Structure 1
Amino acid sequence: MTHPNPETLYESLSLRKRPEDIAALIKDQLQGELGKQEMLLLDKAASGALRHQVGQYTSMLEKFAEVSGAQVQVGKAIQLFKTDDDATGAAFDDPLVVEAFLVKVSAILHKNPGYNSYQADRLNREERMAVGLDISRRRYNKLFRCLRHLEKKLRTMVREHKKSLFLRVGKHAFAEDISREDFMQDMNSACFIAYYTARCNLRSEFTVEGQQRAYDDIADMLLKRCQADSEKANWWAMAQVYPFPEVLKHLSPEQQGVLLGKWTTLLQEVAVFLEELWQTNDINRETMVVRRGNDSSTWNHTAGAWNKARDGWISLLYALGMEFLLDEMCFGKAMRLIAGDVAAWHRSVGNTGDPNLIVWNQLPLPWEVLSGKATCSRDRVAAACREAKLDPERSGWLAPRTHQPLPFRPTPELVHGVTVSNPYLARILKQHKYFSGKDVSPLYPEQN
């Protein structure tokens, strides 16, 4: 018998485990507590866990991509400045640690961080002597260049950490903010959080049938177990990943206010980055079809974070009875970019286009509304929805989304969004760049 391990469930919140593998862990954790129908439902997913397969292998990475640290640049600075720091650990994966180190070594050279002009910011011989830097111009320039390179790396790290944060939050909301203590407080809540998080983390598929929704019949069953023992459930922890009325109604007004503040702060951070991406990418707003040169991955991850934060923000407004704010400030969703071949596929099967795109094109850019550069009211959004033949409430433009549980679907093996039946074949296709949009490395190159 496999022994239950709630720690493994908790650790999965920052990973990208398959829902099938999380379902198997939940089955271990709740053994003896599940009813017959609950067990049958959970078995639909748990039976597909890797531990039940002969090869126990998936081609899908089970971690989010990590941001490269500054160990190389810091190591070079330590060597040149002869400090007693150690760059062999993981500490310099953290931009704050790198920034502190940069300030420290910049002071040795009497250089202000951020001032990197060779013409305006370097010290001449007299200035170096005045501050006690009795070193040659050649060595001074070498140290100055080292700090420039380190600052450039730090800027890259800050940007990449921001992109990584928006990717993860756009998938599973604030799952990684849940403390171990809160997670372990109630196992029914923990199981819902872990499974729903895994479902949220599913990758997008190359399809015209719509993406899988995270809230399936297994997530619904796990939520109902929490509702059946409402006094024991940790609704605060659950609200970090599922900020919808069924959960939010169990929070105190103070907790709801704190969560509203978190979503508002996230909206503000994402808005700044979205605006930057909009200005630096030549995006076709009318069609949102990818053009050459568009950073579609970064845009789509950031748009996902915006939409996730917007959903949470609207849900909290309704929970607090503050939805009247939408009368004056009602910013819209951010549309994702779509690949040209997917758009063509839609047209070939008779799809006339996403009606949400019509609403997007009739409203001011959402980050401009949030910042006060443009205005947009509830009535204006409702009118745009009606023109697009969308229900303003049920479509998520003006009210919290409603989640109807869908039947569980097995997690596909994907190669750049394309479903491949065998994980070993998927690995080979990835290695040879199939479906990547890049030049393919043939599986069987011609022999000379």
Structure 2
Amino acid sequence: MPSHPMEEPLRQLYASLRLRKRPEDIAQLIQDLYTARGITPDAATAAALEKAAAHSLSRMWHGYTSMLEDFARPVGAQRQLGRAASLFATVADLPEAAGEDPAEIEAVIRRAGEEIRRQYGENDFGLDRLNREERAEAGIGDLSKRQYNKRFRLLRRMEAKLARLLHEQRRHEVVVTGKGALAHALPYELFADDPDTAAFIAYLTARAHMRSIFTNGRQRRPYDEVADALFQRLRAAEGRTNWYAVAHVHPTAEVLGHLSDDELVRLLVRWNRFLREVAELLEDAWNRSSIEAASMIVRRGDDSSTWNQAAQAWSTARAHWFALMTELGQQEVLDRVCPGKVPRLMAADVAYWHRRSGGGLHPDTYVWSDLPRPWEVLRGEAECPRSLVASVCKRYGVDPVAGGWTGPRPTAEAVGFRRTPELVHGVAVADPLMASALRSAGVFSGKGQRAAAAEWL
């Protein structure tokens, strides 16, 4: 059922919480939302939104960006379900969405397995198949060996596909949460409760979802002058603002101060669970790689993608966890259990760039190296009290408070708005059409350019 025209901008803003829309386009949607609702923003907010929306795709002559406006999503099992429907009488044609639902896929595997007298998990092609006599005894003697094997192989492949899908869905959730915190988990009713709340959450999430730039300096901070102008509206309309929704993405002391203890605990429980899930991913990537904690430079064979995605998620979850624990007055817990930060792996060329420009390893790397691994701390296998973290920070000249090692980071000041660059493997390119050509030619990929690349250039 189509939504009312007044609701359409709000629906689009809500959908953007799981996407990678440019902040400029979100600013345009916020302007559309205010127009549809008859809301006249204050002069400062109107100027800030216009500064960003002026560069939205809807106002540009080409109306095009070379960058995907979504996170990479897991490939579902739609094809396998379709094949199962053609081979098994008890499997009906299912809607497209069923291919993304692990419970539905497992139910199909179990139901189809009953037709050939196969139990879920019996995947050994040599030991678990039925021979001619066993098939006859089981009442499926009319099924030829070839047809039986075809069905057995399909169910075995579907179980493997289900395992991969679960892993990729979990990884996708880690990536989205690591970037945009819990914005994607907000129910629509909570998000849409107040237009100004929705506008702030959508814009800040779009900023947080921006891709990293290939640089030897700091990445852009999400909280910019546009986000700040929208936040000032939340302050001014305190009676309407849904602070609980805002806390899903912006857990400052000011925001958390508006929440009840019950709301704080609900958020803390979610972040506690997520921290442990991410710790498992970090440990798995650590054990499968040869990461050197003292340098954190990528080596051949290291699963840097998984590590860096998990490290980003750990950083986000840890920041929210610290903020909530502090607001709840759980200082004694933090005194006993203070898991450290996790740095990302750095490419060797970026490390070289740092050295050539007079820099070196970030001091946080040395602190991380000297502390117990976070997954060991969460499991209670290693002690990491706040006093230990503070002493290691002091050893390397790091401020444990300002650096976010022993508590929430100080509230960041708003940075100026800057246009979203077109990126090709992290390198900024002026024009989206040129960016598309460079990407397809393999430029900046580090994997060797195709012959067409040199020709095009």
TM-score, with length taken from structure 1: 0.95
Q: Which whole-Å CA distance do the structure 1 matches of 2:448 and 2:101 have between them?
A: 35
Structure 1 residue ranges without an equivalent (≥5): none
Query: Which residue is 1:181 aligned to?
Result: 189
- Is the CA contact (8 Å cut-off) linking 1:303 and 1:336 kept in structure 2? yes
1:93 aligns with 2:104: no
372, 381, 384: which one pairs with 1:373?
Answer: 381
Query: Which residue is 1:28 aligned to?
Result: 32
Q: Which whole-Å CA distance do the structure 1 matches of 2:121 and 2:11 have between them?
A: 43
- Secondary structure in structure 1 of the residue aligned to 2:442: coil
Shift of 1:79: 2.2
1:353 aligns with 2:364: no
Query: Which residue is 1:128 aligned to?
Result: 135
1:214 aligns with 2:222: yes
Query: Which residue is 2:209 aligned to?
Result: 201
Q: Which whole-Å CA distance do the structure 2 matches of 1:99 and 1:416 have between them?
A: 37
Name the stretch that deviates more: 26-35 or 333-342: 26-35
Name the stretch that deviates more: 15-24 or 195-204: 15-24
Shift of 1:84: 4.2
- Is the CA contact (8 Å cut-off) linking 2:91 and 2:111 kept in structure 1? no
- Secondary structure in structure 2 of the residue aligned to 1:90: helix
TM-score, with length taken from structure 2: 0.93
Query: Which residue is 2:231 aligned to?
Result: 223
Q: Deviations over 1:115-165 (max 9, x none)?
A: 312333333444434432323444333322111111111111111111111
1:305 aligns with 2:309: no
- Secondary structure in structure 2 of the residue aligned to 1:352: coil
Q: Deviations over 1:403-441 (max 9, x none)?
A: 221111211110000000111100101111111111212
Q: Which whole-Å CA distance do the structure 1 matches of 2:382 and 2:84 have between them?
A: 46
Shift of 1:347: 0.7
Report the aligned-residue RMSD. Answer: 1.9
- Is the CA contact (8 Å cut-off) linking 1:171 and 1:200 kept in structure 2? yes
Superposition map of 1:221-260 within 5 A: 221-260=229-268
- Is the CA contact (8 Å cut-off) linking 2:438 and 2:453 kept in structure 1? no
Q: Which whole-Å CA distance do the structure 2 matches of 1:128 and 1:300 have between them?
A: 50
1:415 aligns with 2:424: yes
1:18 aligns with 2:25: no
- Secondary structure in structure 2 of the residue aligned to 1:419: strand
1:59 aligns with 2:63: no
Name the stretch that deviates more: 111-120 or 196-205: 111-120
Q: Which whole-Å CA distance do the structure 2 matches of 1:316 and 1:165 have between them?
A: 21
Shift of 1:446: 6.5
Name the stretch that deviates more: 124-133 or 49-58: 124-133
Q: Deviations over 1:233-269 (max 9, x none)?
A: 0011111111221211111000000000000011111
Query: Which residue is 1:68 aligned to?
Result: 75
Shift of 1:65: 1.5
- Does the C-alpha gap of structure 1 residues 5 and 136 become closer, same or farther in structure 2, counting only changes over 3 Å? closer
1:330 aligns with 2:348: no
- Does the C-alpha gap of structure 1 residues 102 and 192 become closer, same or farther in structure 2, counting only changes over 3 Å? same
Q: Which whole-Å CA distance do the structure 1 matches of 2:339 and 2:140 have between them?
A: 55
287, 297, 322: which one pairs with 1:289?
Answer: 297
Shift of 1:444: 5.7
- Secondary structure in structure 2 of the residue aligned to 1:345: helix
- Secondary structure in structure 2 of the residue aligned to 1:5: helix
Q: Deviations over 1:85-125 (max 9, x none)?
A: 21562321222221121121122222222231233333344
Query: Which residue is 2:45 aligned to?
Result: 38
Partner amino acid, structure 2, of 1:364: P
1:439 aligns with 2:448: yes
- Does the C-alpha gap of structure 1 residues 123 and 259 become closer, same or farther in structure 2, counting only changes over 3 Å? same
Partner amino acid, structure 1, of 2:53: A
- Is the CA contact (8 Å cut-off) linking 2:109 and 2:158 kept in structure 1? yes
- Is the CA contact (8 Å cut-off) linking 1:314 and 1:323 kept in structure 2? no
- Does the C-alpha gap of structure 1 residues 404 and 432 become closer, same or farther in structure 2, counting only changes over 3 Å? same
Query: Which residue is 1:426 aligned to?
Result: 435
Q: Which whole-Å CA distance do the structure 1 matches of 2:355 and 2:102 have between them?
A: 45
Structure 2 residue ranges without an equivalent (≥5): none
Q: Which whole-Å CA distance do the structure 2 matches of 1:435 and 1:446 have between them?
A: 16
- Secondary structure in structure 2 of the residue aligned to 1:190: helix
Percent identity of paired positions between Structure 1 and Structure 2: 44
Name the count of aligned residue pairs.
Answer: 446
Q: Deviations over 1:322-349 (max 9, x none)?
A: 1211121111122111111111111110
Shift of 1:29: 2.9
